[in-house]
Amino acid sequence: MARTITLGAIQTSYGMDLDANIEKTKGFIREAAAKGAQVILPSELFQGPYFCVAQEEHWFTQAYPWRTHPCVVALQPLAAELGVVIPVSIFEREGPHYFNSLVMIDADSSLMGVYRKSHIPDGPGYMEKYYFRPGDTGFKVWDTRFGRIGVGICWDQWYPECARSMALMGAEVLLYPTAIGSEPHDDSLDTALPWRRAMQGHAVSNVIPVVGANRTGFEPWDGYANGGQRFYGSSFIANHRGDLVAEFGRDDEGVLTAEFDLDFLTTHRAAWGFFRDRRTDLYGHLYQPRP
């Protein structure tokens, strides 16, 4: 009997109320599970608005230790009730350190561990270096009930090294929770299509399904009379060829699902030979900061 996995992605808007955001996410998780999803991905930092649009110190009060983060605590029993895996993106506090992190909850509600975002952006509307340290966990892959899952967080998704590292660690699917949209410094800059293409490329180069779950909607900037961030949605599930097998537009809210045959993908990945033909003896410059 073939080993299959059904992936789900949530696309929705979020507001200021933590509890309301959690309840909204729970509703979509239930909807995805009812459609057969076994691994269900909410978007990045769904605990509240995407606060990294400016440097505001009061947001540090919204970080929690990963094991006791309200989003984690609330979704643990739901994972067990529905028998689903839930990767949970959080604002994490560890002592005096702060991270953009993800906690993997397995289908029995057990906490499998934490991944801390490796690549931290810093630019207009995405001032994450003010809030987050670069991750110190290294890339992570988890053996969940339904398959071996690798997860990067938002800016990680632009780096082929991140995807390839997780594939080399045996990941069978790659997931990317995201919060991305308008560019405040340039109204003409729209990265929605390149955002997708980057991850579709990861799918092709690693012969692996990829899921991108983005938020949608307009979020006014806290404390500013004018301005805000419009997130462009466009969440998707791509197959091992990079084809979009499920996708949302910019303003849709709901869940996407798609099923994959993991046994077929294991054999097909071997047949392509991408991992057989790697020339690691030539790649030394990849780990030098200034080759």
Residue 133 DSSP label? P
Given 44, 92, 172, 219, the catalytic residue? 44
Question: Cα separation of 150 and 199, whole Å?
Answer: 13
**What secondary structure does DSSP assign to 207-248, as a single string?**
T--EEEEE-EEEEEPTT-SS-EEEEE---EEE-TTS-EEEE-
Q: Does the annotation mark 117 as catalytic?
A: yes
Q: Does the annotation mark 162 as catalytic?
A: no
φ, ψ for residue 156, nearest 5 deg: -55, -30
Given 24, 154, 172, 219, the catalytic residue? 154
H or E stretch including 99?
strand 97-105
Given 52, 92, 117, 140, the catalytic residue? 117
Contact between 28 and 255 (Cβ < 8 Å): yes
Contact between 39 and 9 (Cβ < 8 Å): no
**Unique residue bearing structure tokens 């929705």:** 12
Q: Does the annotation mark 154 as catalytic?
A: yes
Bin 125: left if φ > 0, else alpha if -120 < ψ < 50, else beta.
left
Which tokens sit at 168? Answer: 């080399």
H or E stretch including 30?
helix 18-34
Contact between 230 and 181 (Cβ < 8 Å): yes
Question: Cα separation of 71 and 273, whole Å?
Answer: 40
Burial class from Cβ neighbours inside 10 Å (0-12, 13-18, 19+) for residue 162 reads: buried
The catalytic residues are 44, 117, 154
